[in-house]
Amino acid sequence: MRAVISLGVWLLLGTAALGQSAEETVSFLLNGTEDGRKIEHFSYRRVTENPLTYILTVKGVDLVKFTVSQINACEYVSEFAGIKDRSKYFKTQVNFSAVKDIRPAETWLLEFADRCAVQEIDGSCKNNLISEYGVEYHRASAALAYFRANFCKGNAY
Q: How far is CA 7 from CA 13, 132, 135, 150, in A?
A: 10, 40, 34, 19
Overall domain count for the chain:
1
Residue 3 falls inside a structural domain: no
For 126-132, what is the mean pLDDT?
A: 80
- The answer to whether residue 76 is domain-embedded is yes
pLDDT tens digits for range 61-103:
999 999 999 999 999 999 989 998 877 888 999 999 999 888 8
Is 8 within the bounds of a domain? no
Range of the domain at 102: 21-150
pTM greater than 0.85: no
Q: Is residue 57 part of a domain?
A: yes
Burial call 100-136: b when 16+ CB within 10 Å, e when fewer: bebeeeebbbbebeeeebbbeeeeeeeeebebebebe
What pLDDT does 15 receive? 38
Average pLDDT estimate for 30-45 = 79
Amino acid found at 31: N
Is 133 within 8 Å of 32 (Cβ atoms)?
yes
Would you say residue 84 lies in a domain? yes
Answer yes or no: is 10 within a domain: no
> Does 4 score more than 50 pLDDT?
no
Confidence (pLDDT) at 43: 83
Greater confidence (39 vs 78) lies with 78
Query: Is there a domain that residue 156 lies in?
Result: no
Cβ atoms of 137 and 104 closer than 8 Å: yes
- Given a cut of 70, whether residue 13 has pLDDT beyond it is no
Per-residue buried b or exposed e for 50-77, using 16+ beta carbons within 10 Å of the residue's own CB: eebbbbbbeeeeebbbbbbbbeeebbbb
Would 13 be classed as within a structural domain?
Answer: no
Q: What percent of the chain has pLDDT over 70?
A: 85
Of 93, 89, 102, nearest in space to 142 by CA = 102
Q: What is the pLDDT of residue 132?
A: 67
Question: What local confidence, expressed as pLDDT, does residue 7 receive?
Answer: 34
